[in-house]
């Protein structure tokens, strides 16, 4: 699996968790209660996996390689994607602040949290679609086989490969739980 296939596979998992998050928040709207422990589980996955692993791969490995191909580091599309990563971090931070509280009291706060979750889900879907359908296919064509192999090897540095595998297994397990606990209705 090359780096692009790996990143698209990350997107598949993130999308499944976003679908579960959307079902979770729909239940919260219907019940009038936002379970902060459950919200925190979603936020932990999205922060740890989407931001700290997936985005780190893009920003540490893919973007510098794109710059070597001639993409302007501070121009489109790199600057745009980085800006989107920053926006996602802000949305996740807003949810993280809420998710660690003891309770969510006022209905206006509940409505705000529900709104932020919906904004995050819509934003993420659009971001993933842009990367999968526009960025990755275009850039992949520009890499030679040798360069693509080198980029893919960079996903796993020998120094942290064992820890990364354990971390990924834990996060995938968390994702599986969330997806299973908030299934699509037939």
Q: Which residue has the higher pLDDT, 89 or 98?
A: 89
pLDDT averaged over the chain?
Answer: 89
Q: What is the mean pLDDT of residues 68-80?
A: 90
Q: Does residue 177 belong to any structural domain of this protein?
A: yes
Q: What is the pLDDT of residue 181?
A: 96
Q: Which residue has the higher pLDDT, 34 or 19?
A: 19
Q: Which residue has the higher pLDDT, 118 or 148?
A: 118
pLDDT band (50, 70, 90) for residue 104: low
Q: What is the mean pLDDT of residues 22-49?
A: 93
- Total domains in the chain come to 1
pLDDT band (50, 70, 90) for residue 103: low
What does the angle CA 176 – CA 122 – CA 181 come to, to the nearest 5 degrees? 25
Can you give the pTM of this predicted structure? 0.91
In the block, tokens 């979603």 appear at 42
Q: Does residue 155 belong to any structural domain of this protein?
A: yes
Q: What is the mean pLDDT of residues 93-105?
A: 79
Q: What is the pLDDT of residue 107?
A: 54
Domain that holds residue 9: 3-181
Lowest mean pLDDT among 12-21, 68-77, 136-145, 150-159: 150-159
Q: Does residue 96 belong to any structural domain of this protein?
A: yes
Q: Does residue 81 belong to any structural domain of this protein?
A: yes
Q: Does residue 186 belong to any structural domain of this protein?
A: no
CATH classification at residue 80: 1.20.120.520
Query: Which tokens in the block code for residue 7?
Result: 């990143």
């Amino acid at each position: 699996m090359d780096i692009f296939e790996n990143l698209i596979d990350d997107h598949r998992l993130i999308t499944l968790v976003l679908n579960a998050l959307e079902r979770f928040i729909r239940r919260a709207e219907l019940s009038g209660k936002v379970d902060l422990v459950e919200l925190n589980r979603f936020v932990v996955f999205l922060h740890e996996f989407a931001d700290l692993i997936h985005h780190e791969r893009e920003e540490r490995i893919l973007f510098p390689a794109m710059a070597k191909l001639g993409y302007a580091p501070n121009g489109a599309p790199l600057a745009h994607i980085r800006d989107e990563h920053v926006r996602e971090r802000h949305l996740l931070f807003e949810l993280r602040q809420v998710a660690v509280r003891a309770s969510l009291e006022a209905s206006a706060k509940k409505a705000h949290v529900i709104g932020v979750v919906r904004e995050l889900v819509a934003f993420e879907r659009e971001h993933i679609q842009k990367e999968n359908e526009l960025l990755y296919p275009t850039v992949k064509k520009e890499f030679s086989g040798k360069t693509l192999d080198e980029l893919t090897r960079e996903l796993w540095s020998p120094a942290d490969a064992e820890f990364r595998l354990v971390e990924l297994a834990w996060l995938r397990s968390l994702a599986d739980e969330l997806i299973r606990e908030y299934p699509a209705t037939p």
